[in-house]
Amino acid sequence: MDTPASSGSIVVQDLWKIFSRKSGISFSSSDTEDDSLVEQLDKSDDAVVAMKGVSFTVKEGETFIIMGLSGSGKSTLIRCLLRLVEPTSGDIIVNGKNVTAMSKSELVAFRRENIAMVFQHYGLLPHRTVLDNVGFGLKLRGEEKEAYRKKALGALEMVGLKGWEKYHPAALSGGMRQRVGIARALVMDAPILLMDEPFSGLDPLIRRELQDEMIRLQKEMKKTVFFVTHDLSEALRMGDRMAVMKHGEIVQIGSPDEVIANPADEYVARFVQDEREQLERTEQALAKEKQGKEAAPHVS
Amino acid sequence: MFPEALQAHIAPAVNDFINGLIEAYTPFFDSVAGGILTVLITINDFLVIVPWWGYILAVGILSWYSSKKIVASLILASLPYFIGMFGLWPMAIESLSVIITSVLLALIIGLPMGVLMAEVKSVAFVLRPLLDGMQTMPSFVYLIPAMMLFGLGKVPAVFATLIYALPPVIRLTALGLNQVPKPVEEAALAYGATRWQLIKEVRLPLAMPSILAGVNQTTMMALAMVVISSMIGARGLGQEVLVSINRIDVGRGFEAGMSVVFLAIVIDRLTQNLAKKWEPPKR
């Protein structure tokens, strides 16, 4: 394809988000510079400090994972990248463009061209067919029915839903709905893909299937993927690099192997503990099995 | 008892206001009345052209098309026949023309108001108590000024019906728009929907069942006003009821009352079934 493939970097600098619980209070960027005020707000019931000075860089073409428990601020972070949630302060630079400084109309254009998003709860339109759901983003962009339906059909084929285009989302299982969600994102041909816990609501087998599917698609497309999850094994399978979030801060950034091998603090250590134990157990089991058979048939 | 010293009245002010309105804006109200009357007459002319069996056929076909239930459709189609059997056909048609005119006006005014109410918080803040007032104010209270402004007959009836029947369509439109699931809205925004696109492509279609429930409610309330508005000279089924009450003719009153009920059932079932057609498909 043309230009998009060459641009897909995300730079986030000192991003803050303070949610106000009382109506009428709002926070300005200067508030976040005052450490004692932030601490006070964090403890009070009037505000929630969801992100505290988050900074990172996502390189073009890599899969970057944000991991953390619920309430750690990862959902807020991914929404800030599109300004679905307005950050209180900080800068977001995508493809060299400053997202935080954009006007409303620039923002709409930016969302249409640069980024496509996949949601945990799918966000499909119940009154439209699968085909028109996939083409929805293109339609918003102003493309003609003929054109967007044709592209949508192609995208549906890519995610293995050929033949389902005339159905409505209600007729589909969770896994299939998320395939529709992925197709809707792919068809936009945007350089960056945001995924907000896309597989969290699915059962383990389907989850694995879709993870494999994403890995396969990613090999072909080489998009920049920004992936939020609370599932460490998912992070390990999908991610090139990962960041662990806790209470609105990033506590560690590194490759998944690094994080498992050298957890930065106790929180990360507890996070990866299960995974380490499981690794050991799997290794033992595999070793046992190897003793039994010549070579274990293994599907990855 | 409430101390007499604390009594104060706004009645003179209201009287002055209405009198001032009549003095200053009579041409305006006359032209409004003329406009409503034109719509009424056009609709009535059309309703009169259709033969009686045309209604029965139309009700049957519409009902079958929207519900696919044969027995229910047959029963529904037979109801207009009973109205004719009682000799109340012309009155029913006259009532119907008032109802249709009121509902049309209610939709033209109410739908945009509902959208506005859902979109703009301050509008909702002002509108909510106003709607409450419109629904609970005894209708006789505004029947009199309506008559003073628009004269006797069907036009003040339409106006009074409008005041009574407008709130549900506004309320349920706003409710439907506000009930759209957040993830769906968020997804549309993420893909670059403008505010107008969000309303047109996502919120309105998803709110459609609720909006149509509002249309149904509005129609039912308009029907309830049919009898009351006969007191200001709107002819139709209501007048029949009124006359029977005055003559203490229980039987005649019953026939007229049953006719109102039949009319209500037919309109209610048809609009409800059509509303169901708009719900998002399960398959």
Structure ipTM: 0.81
The chain-wide mean pLDDT, for chain B, equals 89
Architecture of domain B10-276: Orthogonal Bundle (1.10)
Mean pLDDT for the stretch of residues A266-288: 81
Contact at CB, B281 and A116, closer than 8 angstroms: no
The residue behind tokens 């992100």 is A51
Task: Give contacts of A 144-173 with B, CB under 8 A.
Answer: 167-168, 170-171
**Residue B126: predicted pLDDT:** 93
Structure tokens at A163: 């033949």
Which residue, among A18, A47, A37, has the nearest Cα to A248 in the 3D structure? Answer: A18
Query: Binning pLDDT at 50, 70 and 90, where does residue A238 land?
Result: confident
Mean pLDDT for the stretch of residues A260-281: 79
Query: Does any CB of chain A come closer than 8 Å to the CB of residue B186?
Result: yes
Find the Cα–Cα–Cα–Cα dihedral A248, A246, A9, A214, rounded to 10°.
Answer: -130
Contact at CB, A111 and B282, closer than 8 angstroms: no
Q: How many helices (H) and strands (E) does chain B have?
A: 12, 0
Query: Does any CB of chain A come closer than 8 Å to the CB of residue B125?
Result: no
Longest dimension (CA), chain B: 69
DSSP code of residue B279: S
**Residue A122: predicted pLDDT:** 87
Structure tokens at B29: 């109200």
Let me know if A30 is exposed, middle or buried by CB neighbors in 10 A (0-12, 13-18, 19+): exposed
Vertex B79 angle, CA B77 and B83, to 5°: 135
Distance from CA of B179 to the nearest CA of A (A): 14
Residues of A with Cβ-Cβ distance to B198 under 8 angstroms: none
Which residue, among A244, A248, A230, has the nearest Cα to A50 in the 3D structure? Answer: A248
pLDDT in tens, A92-105: 888 888 888 888 88
Structure tokens at B252: 């005649």
Residues of A with Cβ-Cβ distance to B192 under 8 angstroms: 108-113, 137, 140-141
Domain ranges of chain B: 10-276
pTM for this prediction: 0.78
pLDDT in tens, A12-69: 888 888 887 776 666 776 666 677 777 777 777 777 888 888 888 888 888 899 988 8
The answer on pLDDT for A295 being more than 70 is: no
**Residue B248: predicted pLDDT:** 92
Let me know if A284 is exposed, middle or buried by CB neighbors in 10 A (0-12, 13-18, 19+): exposed
pLDDT in tens, A175-192: 888 889 988 988 888 888
The answer on pLDDT for A237 being more than 50 is: yes
Query: Binning pLDDT at 50, 70 and 90, where does residue A4 land?
Result: very low
The answer on pLDDT for A3 being more than 70 is: no
pLDDT in tens, B56-102: 999 999 999 888 889 999 999 999 999 999 999 999 999 999 999 99
Q: For residue B167, what are the CA distances in angstroms to A195, B213, B255?
A: 42, 12, 30
Q: How many helices (H) and strands (E) does chain A have?
A: 11, 10
